[in-house]
């Protein structure tokens, strides 16, 4: 827990990096394996800390889980335990994805209120409301959400906000509900499409994946499947912004560029040369970036998970940028750490104003979440001297082989043990 990264500034990143499967997809796919008895196999899984954490959750529910590199085998029993282990669930937010499958499969789910990143309030109101419209009763009891249903029935559900997590839990519950469910204002993220594709391969009947309206015709049972996880657009976007910030030349493979259309467009506006391919892109930058404004929104808007990278490039851009956060209210904690590095930034509600300077100044900084941690490493690359990033277990939860890939691209980053 006390490991840290020492980042030497001044590197220019150059070369090729491959993106693995998406963290924001694989954990939900693992949870969806609960819906069918038998062995489901997932390929292209990222080697990150959250995958074995989800393995622990599933094992506590009675599944057998084997991780072999980038392949995960999940064998779900005929009778699944409905109570998710408190200690396993509370470690990370994505564990709440078992709520929908357990309610559908067992008629009961007890899932501890999850922990995870410190990026703001993420209540389960929409998850509970959606399950209730499908016929379940829900309540918060002893620090856990409890859902119970003798039978789920299709319903017309409209989300107040296109929440990814609520969309996933309503979707995984409704595939086994009786009749038709129409989910309006559903999340449109590529990870939702990936989940829909896996569920369809399991025998679910889903229309509208990738649109704001999902139509689900319930089936009586599903079968196990084999599925390849979609590429991680947030990791890919991190490499794109790292290339631009360090005035580098980086080619990223394993990702469909359309999943990053707006972030790549923003880099073009900042002065980068961006080439796209079928499953990859190249970002080149040979000068100081130009200031660009950003506002985070649900897909296809600018991803909140790339907001720290937008702030990072803005700290060294020529001119003034305004970044507006519309998804998570506490994500600007990251700015406090950039102030340690000498950034000229001021926060006003859900806006931050950044006046770019030519170079940041190295010091010790602390990660508050996965993306903020990665953003601080990128900031260290454009600072003078050595920047030490603490609490890097956050980064390990979302970025496979992060240091190895950075150093392969020309950076100098070291992992320091607790006693160093």
Cite the annotated binding site for phosphoenolpyruvate by residue number: 23-24
How far are the Cα atoms of 65, 110, 117, 150, 311 from residue 140, in angstroms, in the given order? 29, 9, 21, 19, 37
Ramachandran quadrant class, 349 (left: phi over 0; alpha: psi -120 to 50; beta: rest):
left
Determine the 3-state secondary structure of 138 from DSSP: strand
How far are the Cα atoms of 76, 270, 399 from residue 169, in angstroms, in the given order? 18, 38, 25
Contact 199, 32 (CB under 8 A): yes
Determine the 3-state secondary structure of 368 from DSSP: coil
Tokens describing residue 310: 């937008």
* Strand-by-strand arrangement of the 4-8 sheet: 364-366, 386-390, 4-8, 412-416
Q: Say how far apart CA 48 and CA 374 lie, in whole Å.
A: 14
Tell me the β-bridge partners of 366.
390
Q: Say how far apart CA 170 and CA 125 lie, in whole Å.
A: 12
Residue 364 bears catalytic tag: no
Measure the CA angle with vertex 122, ends 121 and 125; round to 5°.
Answer: 120
Tokens describing residue 14: 């150059």
Q: Which of 117, 194, 232, 391 is catalytic?
A: 117
Contact 173, 109 (CB under 8 A): no
Tell me the β-bridge partners of 180.
217
Q: Say how far apart CA 403 and CA 5 lie, in whole Å.
A: 9
Residue stretches of the annotated binding site: 23-24, 93, 305, 327
Contact 138, 173 (CB under 8 A): no
How far are the Cα atoms of 34, 60, 80, 226, 286 from residue 38, in angstroms, in the given order? 9, 17, 12, 11, 53
Which of the 8 DSSP states describes residue 49? T
Peptide bond into 300 cis (omega under 30): yes
Tokens describing residue 271: 């002065």
Element (H, E) at 27: helix 23-32
Contact 224, 202 (CB under 8 A): yes
β pairing state of 38-43 and 71-76: antiparallel
Report the catalytic residues: 117
């Amino acid at each position: 827990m006390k490991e840290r990264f020492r980042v030497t500034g001044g590197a220019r990143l150059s070369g090729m990096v491959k993106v693995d499967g998406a963290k924001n997809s694989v954990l939900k796919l693992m949870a969806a394996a609960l819906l069918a008895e038998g062995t489901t196999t997932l390929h292209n899984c990222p080697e990150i800390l959250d995958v074995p954490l989800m393995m622990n959750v599933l094992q506590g529910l009675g599944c057998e889980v084997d991780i072999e590199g980038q392949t995960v085998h999940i064998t779900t029993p005929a009778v699944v335990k409905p109570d998710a282990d408190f200690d396993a669930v509370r470690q990370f937010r994505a564990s709440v994805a078992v709520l929908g499958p357990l309610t559908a499969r067992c008629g009961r789910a007890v899932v501890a209120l999850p922990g995870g990143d410190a990026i703001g309030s993420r209540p389960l109101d929409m998850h509970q409301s959606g399950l209730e419209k499908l016929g379940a009763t829900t309540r918060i009891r002893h620090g856990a959400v409890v859902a119970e249903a003798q039978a789920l029935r299709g319903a017309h559900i409209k989300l107040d906000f296109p929440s990814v997590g609520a969309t996933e839990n309503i979707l995984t519950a409704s595939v086994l509900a009786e009749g038709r469910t129409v989910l309006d204002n559903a999340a449109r993220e590529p990870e939702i499409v990936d989940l829909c594709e896996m569920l369809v391969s399991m025998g679910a009947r889903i229309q509208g994946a990738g649109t704001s309206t999902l139509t689900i015709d319930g089936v009586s049972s599903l079968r196990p499947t084999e599925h390849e996880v979609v590429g991680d657009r947030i990791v890919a976007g991190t490499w794109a912004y790292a290339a631009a910030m360090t005035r580098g030349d980086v080619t990223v493979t394993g990702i469909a560029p359309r999943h990053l259309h707006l972030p790549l467009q923003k880099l073009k506006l900042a002065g980068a040369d961006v080439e796209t391919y079928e499953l990859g892109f190249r970002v080149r930058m040979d000068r100081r970036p130009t200031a660009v404004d950003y506002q985070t929104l649900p897909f296809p808007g600018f991803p909140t998970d790339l907001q720290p990278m937008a702030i990072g490039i803005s700290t060294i851009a020529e001119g003034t940028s305004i970044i507006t956060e519309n998804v998570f209210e506490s994500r600007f904690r990251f700015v406090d750490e950039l102030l340690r590095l000498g950034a000229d930034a001021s926060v006003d509600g859900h806006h931050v104003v950044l006046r770019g300077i030519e170079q940041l100044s190295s010091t010790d900084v602390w990660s508050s979440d996965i993306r903020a941690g990665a953003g601080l490493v990128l900031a260290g690359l454009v600072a003078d001297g050595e920047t030490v990033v603490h609490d890097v277990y956050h980064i390990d939860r979302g970025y496979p082989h992060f240091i190895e890939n950075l150093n392969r691209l020309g950076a100098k980053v070291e992992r320091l043990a607790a006693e160093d």
